[in-house]
A = this chain, B = another copy of it.
């Protein structure tokens, strides 16, 4: 009764043969450390600890949180107490849980313009009213936010403060302080998506937003960009009182911790130092890819502007005002190249002359070939 000749779809995204799709915002397959995870699983599962198979503590396994706290303390260069950590299935699941517990349909959520397009989809599932905030080359313009708050209050503010998706910028220290101070003054919660924080290719960024204090900030981290998306493992860093609210959700009370088995395996990765070694290799690879793509774009695309990436996965390309990047997609398809048009990242269809390119998925020669194809598209468009 089961047709084995036609397996169901496996990969979330498949660009098709010979297409170089800069729209794929994932780590390259060859960068996923299968051998390290095989070793970590072998090490963990040969230990007689059946508790990793049982319902787990709501906030996540205590030993895992200790190991994660040490890893993050090293990575941030400042202490992260394990009591401030809560284990998740990744940022998407964390956002979903936060929306369920802290919002009701019709509530206002402030987001950056542009922002991560699939977060907008998630907020829409929760019936939230999304309001876009202006940004510049340093991210959210907090002075404008301060003005806006005088006549409109959000329940949540969603920000990607470091190596932003899609625009690449990093919010400076002073704006971080002002943002957190505004959240306290106007009583809203900041949800900071900081999945690219540990992937810096030049100077270290300012600390994650949760380090600016208070009960009003939730920082979201993930192993998806630094280890493997398929693990569905991430964390929340926030004040213990906030984490207690999450742990008291029906989802957690019923199902227990969100990822006991996988977090036990990744605990070995952390304790053995393998995660740290892998992260250093990734940063080297991504730094090289970012530099190569930036150089190729400068060489091939005279009319486009962009900032050199200092971390993360993306270059945000801005074309002359008159060009709508979305209109170029059919032409790009003909040239076997892909990208994500800027308007997808806007809550109100703006950024039409921008587009997002990911440099994490392909190797350097492929990125360079892709830049040449992109130039051909622009020349023909």
Number of copies: 2
The answer to whether A34 touches B57, judged by C-beta atoms less than 8 angstroms apart, is no
The answer to whether A260 touches B230, judged by C-beta atoms less than 8 angstroms apart, is yes
Which of A37, A41, A228, A255 has the most chain B CB within a 10 Å cutoff? A255
Residues of B within 8 A of A16 (CB): none
Q: Which of A64-113 contact B (CB under 8 A)?
A: 65-66, 69-70, 73, 79, 81-83, 89-93, 95-96, 99-101, 104-105
The answer to whether B257 touches A12, judged by C-beta atoms less than 8 angstroms apart, is yes
Docked Cα-Cα span, A264 to B9, in Å, equals 14
Tell me how far the C-beta of A222 lies from the nearest C-beta in chain B, rounded to whole angstroms.
9
**Does chain B have a CB within 8 A of A335?**
no
Instruction: From the candidates B11, B61, B251, name the one contacting A96 in the complex (CB within 8 A).
Output: B251
Stretch at the interface among A46-54, A206-214, A282-290, A346-354: A46-54
SS class, residues of chain A in contact with chain B? helix
The answer to whether A50 touches B30, judged by C-beta atoms less than 8 angstroms apart, is yes
Interface size on A, residues (CB 8 A): 90
Docked Cα-Cα span, A63 to B41, in Å, equals 21
Known contacts A48-B34, A254-B118, A256-B229; decide if A73 and B1 are in contact (CB<8 Å).
yes
What string of 1s and 0s marks CB contacts (under 8 Å) between A104-141 and chain B? 11000000000010111111111100000000000000
**Could you list 18 A-B pairs, sorted by A, with CB under 8 Å?**
A2-B82, A7-B66, A8-B65, A9-B59, A12-B58, A12-B257, A33-B53, A34-B50, A41-B41, A41-B45, A53-B228, A55-B224, A55-B230, A92-B250, A100-B125, A229-B255, A230-B260, A261-B262
Chain A contacts to B: CB under 8 angstroms: 1-2, 4, 7-13, 26-27, 29-30, 32-34, 37-38, 41-42, 45-46, 48-59, 61-63, 65-66, 69-70, 73, 79, 81-83, 89-93, 95-96, 99-101, 104-105, 116, 118-127, 224, 228-232, 249-251, 253-262, 264
